[in-house]
Amino acid sequence: MSELSLHTFEPPSDHKVSVFDELDSTNQEALRRAPDFDGTPLWIVARRQTKGRGREGRNWVSEPGNLYTSFLFRPQCSLSTANQLSFVTGVGVFETVRSVLGSSPQAEQIRLKWPNDILVDRKKIAGILIESFLASQSHEPVIAIGIGINIAHHPVLPDRETTHLGAHVGGVNPELVFSALSRELDQSIEQWDRGRNFDLIRQHWSERAHNPGERLSVRVGNNRFEGVFNGLDDDGALKIKLDTGELKRVTVGDVLIPRPSSDR
Ligand code: BTN
């Protein structure tokens, strides 16, 4: 797992980058570095991961050709405010995918799915896993934002439709997508302003996600229920109006997307 000195992954000038041919997981590497972190925002990139992690204990298939990266930084806010980064990052990755797809017709088909999956044509193209480390003395959180973007291929999964950028545009590679991502995420974090502008981020997220009144199916653990999307609560929880009229708040779980009708 030795670091590559020659590479063309270029983050914004005030960030550092460490690039590897192979890692267990870029998030795992970020958390290994968290205790000695000097505060200079750091990107960790791997061309391949052997133990890529997804949300809710799932595995993230990580063969070469896609982007696997983690952004390690100090958000300079409390851990509970740092939870908002899920939406901040969702907006940043959405904008990354939009800038890479450019004027292709698929650029109109990008959506965010709660809390932060990025879909193109209702198929997942990118995922986000945020993990935190709390320094015992300062109590200041260090955050690892892990991002996987399908570029050259996508895994075939039994429970969800997936796609990759190369299926929609030519000439994309991890270096190019990384350059857009590091810029867009930096911008989104700056806009968020340590939580002071979360209302703005929530508005940006909402404009890019489910339509008001859209019917959603939600899985929380082994429970499933359906209802109508009723926006985000102040803390980012998903609000669903059940058919009984009851309003349900969802803080962990998955929104299930029906298969595109052309594939049925
Ligand atoms: C999800 O389940 O949607 C989240 C997937 C997150 C995958 C990325 S790839 C880079 C980083 N390292 C990991 O082990 N996971 C995240």
pLDDT at 264: 37
- Is residue 135 over pLDDT 80? no
Q: Kindly provide the b/e burial profile for residues 187-209, where b requires at least 16 CB atoms within 10 angstroms of the residue's own CB.
A: ebbeebeebebbeebbebbbebb
Q: How far apart are CA 70 and CA 168, in angstroms?
A: 25
**Is 121 inside a domain boundary?**
yes
**ω into residue 115 within 30 of 0, thus cis?**
yes
202 & 219 share domain: no
**Is 4 inside a domain boundary?**
no
Percent of the chain residues topping a pLDDT of 70? 97
Please give the mean pLDDT across all residues of the chain: 93
- The single-letter code of the amino acid at 47 is R
Whether residue 127 has its Cβ less than 6 Å from ligand 1: yes
134 & 228 share domain: no
Q: How many residues does the chain have?
A: 264
Average pLDDT over residues 138-162: 93
Domain of residue 252, CATH code: 2.30.30.100
**Is 141 inside a domain boundary?**
yes
45 & 23 share domain: yes
Q: Whose CA is nearest to atom 11 of ligand 1?
A: 146
Ligand 1 atom, smallest distance to 24 CA: 14
144 & 255 share domain: no
188 & 234 share domain: no
pLDDT at 259: 54
**Is 67 inside a domain boundary?**
yes
121 & 152 share domain: yes
221 & 201 share domain: no
252 & 195 share domain: no
166 & 234 share domain: no
140 & 240 share domain: no
Q: How far apart are CA 107 and CA 117, in angstroms?
A: 16
pLDDT at 105: 87
Whether residue 89 has its Cβ less than 6 Å from ligand 1: no
| pLDDT tens, position by position, 15-50 | 999 999 999 999 999 999 999 999 999 999 999 999
Whether residue 150 has its Cβ less than 6 Å from ligand 1: no
201 & 232 share domain: no
- The domain in which residue 237 lies consists of 215-263
Q: Residue 66 phi/psi, 5° resolution?
A: -105, 175
- Smallest CA-to-CA distance from 104 within 122, 86, 80, 121 is with 121
Pairing of strands 117-120, 123-134: antiparallel
Whether residue 113 has its Cβ less than 6 Å from ligand 1: no
Largest CA distance in the chain: 59
Domain of residue 86, CATH code: 3.30.930.10
120 three-state secondary structure? strand
**Is 53 inside a domain boundary?**
yes
151 & 100 share domain: yes
Structural domain count of the chain = 2
pLDDT at 36: 93
pLDDT at 258: 58
